[in-house]
Amino acid sequence: MAEHFAERRYLINFDTRRLGQVFTDVLVIGAGVGGLRAAIEAGTKANVVLVTKDRLADCNTAFAQGGIAAVTGAGDSVDAHITDTFQVGCGLGDGNVIGLMAREGPSCIEEMVTWGAKFDVDNGAVALGMEGGHSARRVIHALGDATGRELGRVLSLRAAECEAIRLFENCFVLDLVVRDGRCIAAITHHEKYGYQIIWAKQVILASGGGGRLFRETTNAESATADGHAIAFRAGAKLRDLEFFQFHPTALYVAGASRALISEAVRGEGATLVDREGRRFMTEYHPDAELASRDVVSRAILKQIAATSGTSVFLDVRHIGPARFAERFPNIARLCRDFDIDVARDLIPVRPAAHYMIGGVAVDIDGRSSVDGLLACGEAAASGVHGANRLASNSLLEGLVFGKRVGRMAADLARQQPGDKWPQTLSHTIARSPRTELDLSDVRNSLRALCWRNVGIDRTGDRLRETIEIVDFWGRYVMDKVLEHRMGWETQNMLTVARCLAFAALAREESRGVHYRSDFPETNDNDFLAHITIERGSEGISIERIQSHRGDGPHPR
């Protein structure tokens, strides 16, 4: 019988004797802020191979507009940042991990400045913005609304200066090789060198998220949850997959890709109005437009339904076109491209999938349940975000834990005796007799299904329907050996969508970004806990692990 889903171990047939051989101390998969920072740190002590499936600049980091949260101003404190992060996480954040990130944040910002980052200034000091969920102005930004791009630029240059780092762009990681409980290699396909096996003493997964699982998303084309899928197939535990953050304000123009309209726009005073021009967020939450993202997203959907519209609108007219263009140059340019005059017109927006909170379950040092496999950034469930991510904490998490995980991987690699490489390994999948489906059609249908059934508002019936439909597609897609990126991404998306639906089905409550209209209340008695998923011999194995992190933040 052909393998499918939980039983599927590798995506392709291979024999290591026929693959190109690459050897390194540390392999870093992904070149966003977390992956780059991990590679730079590991490269101070070990040889590093850094792989990314596109060009270096083509990742979600470059899409991050709003900024990076860190305590640098008077009237703010590390303890306040910890408390804000924990409160937005609805009791599931890890106080120790949050405390570590908040305390190390300021030094990471100083390091980036030393390396050449050009953060915006106001009267000689770093300019600080306000965003939803924060109790003080602590969001640092660069080039107005291009913070992620600036961090990526600086880190890329720094990595290029490190002789210990070897970069493979346009290199797709298909699977991880685990032997005797330890991750020892990755099978890859490079556009120039073809199939390869990269042997490594330690592997860091920093592959980003999976916004492309949903029809409406702000994410880059590359965000197809590949890292989550390969970790799952390798036997690693995944945690908190049900928590997927939807950004409230993506530019909505019918027929065009969704583009992020940063939360910082609302932080500068923009208001949300419905199609009748009426401001409505004051009716949903005392913090109005600066409520947490899950609250604003659900309010927008309710208002769209109540007014029979397709979007709501951001009103930025009172900010003034000159000030708006100075503060948000890329958003201003985007609006002009769609003939939206910010001095006169309202900006149409609606929610879109934005950030994958769940990921590979890791400890405070980034170590997963599989020896030799570490993870950081959006690919990891570090415990920072709990059930909801505080705005602009993601870039900070990437810097802090990328550095920490890179150091840990290099130290572990140095302690590890030299492996006998290469090993002879092979895998064969029987040829499937089933018909082939149109992968583009499956992919588009999957994204529409996830948006409809696993999006902002969920129910048990729709989640079970999702699993049933994905299982059907899986019988005709997961049984095939495909030889191209579209196929591998589609297989990964089906795998992770199925895991996500199972996790959301298991959490019979509403908490943070996970909202079940059939279980609308938060249930601390049963669900102050984490849902973990891993690959089992009989299918997906789901466990509910009670959290001991809900007593509050522990800053010291």
pLDDT of residue 146: 81
Residues in the chain, total: 556
CA-wise closest residue to 150 among 23, 288, 24, 330: 330
Q: For residues 316 and 261, what is the distance between their CA atoms, to the nearest angstrom? A: 12
pLDDT of residue 196: 97
pLDDT(257) > 90: no
Out of 31-40, 322-331, 477-486, least confident range? 322-331
pLDDT(517) > 80: yes
Going through 86-229 in order, the beta strands assigned E by DSSP cover 121-122, 125-126, 128-129, 139-140, 165-168, 171-179, 182-190, 194-205
With 0.85 as the threshold, say if the pTM is over it. yes
> What residues are paired with 361 via a beta bridge?
381
- What letter does residue 290 receive in the DSSP assignment? G
pLDDT of residue 550: 44
Domain 246-354 has CATH 3.40.50.10490: no
pLDDT of residue 66: 67
pLDDT(253) > 80: yes
In this chain, the answer to whether the domains covering 31-243+358-415 and 246-354 adopt an identical fold is no
Per-residue pLDDT band for 556 (boundaries 50, 70, 90) equals: very low
Mean pLDDT of the chain: 92
Out of 58-62, 271-275, 298-302, 483-487, least confident range? 58-62
- Give the H/E segment covering residue 273: strand 271-273
> What residues are paired with 348 via a beta bridge?
313
pLDDT of residue 490: 97
Average pLDDT over residues 535-549: 81
Domain ranges of the chain: 31-243+358-415, 246-354, 437-546
pLDDT(470) > 80: yes
Per-residue pLDDT band for 64 (boundaries 50, 70, 90) equals: low
pLDDT(551) > 60: no
pLDDT of residue 300: 95
Q: What's the Cα-to-Cα distance from 392 to each of 126, 239, 488, 518, rounded to whole Å?
A: 16, 22, 31, 31
Q: What is the pLDDT of residues 318-336, one digit of tens each?
A: 999 999 998 888 889 889 9
pLDDT of residue 2: 54
**Domain 437-546 belongs to what topology?**
Methane Monooxygenase Hydroxylase; Chain G, domain 1 (1.20.58)
The residue from 37, 153, 266, 293 that is catalytic is 293
Q: Please report, as a single letter, which amino acid is at residue 85.
A: T
Q: What is the pLDDT of residues 382-412, one digit of tens each?
A: 999 999 999 899 999 999 999 999 999 999 9
Domain 31-243+358-415 has CATH 3.50.50.60: yes
Average pLDDT over residues 347-361: 95
Cis bond before residue 422 (omega within 30° of 0): yes
User: Cα–Cα–Cα angle for 466, 472, 476, nearest 5°?
Assistant: 140
Active site residue 458: no
Out of 64-78, 111-125, 162-176, 215-229, least confident range? 64-78
Per-residue pLDDT band for 555 (boundaries 50, 70, 90) equals: very low
pLDDT(1) > 50: no
Residues near 180 by beta carbon (within 8 Å), at least 6 away in sequence:
none
